[in-house]
Amino acid sequence: MVASIRGGLAESLAEQITRLVQSRTGGQIVGLHVAVSGSDVTISGRTTTYYLKQLATHAALDFAGRFATLTNDIVVS
């Protein structure tokens, strides 16, 4: 069952996911933004490789995957 995430917990979750994604990708996601709304987590930004996008996905899922759905809107260019 998916739990709903609200208020300060959502901000804390977004900050923690941001730190984990930055750590796992070596800070290679430009303009990284993590948004949490209810049980939905969206990560966005820009990177140069699909590998880095995949690393970001797995980092976010490792942290939030058990109780949230993830959308990866990172652009590869």
What is the CATH classification number for the domain harbouring 16?
3.30.1340.30
Q: What is the pLDDT of residue 47?
A: 98
Q: Residue 2 domain-assigned?
A: no
Q: Strands 69-76 and 40-47, how do they pair? A: parallel
In a domain, 12, yes or no: yes
Q: What is the pLDDT along the chain (77 residues), one digit of tens a residue?
A: 234 445 566 668 899 999 999 999 999 999 999 999 988 999 999 999 999 999 999 999 998 877 789 999 999 99
Q: Which domain holds residue 38?
A: 7-76
Does residue 1 belong to any structural domain of this protein? no
Residue type, 50: Y
Query: How many of the other CB atoms lie within 10 Å of CB of 55?
Result: 18
Tokens 């994604």 appear where? 21
Domain count, the chain: 1
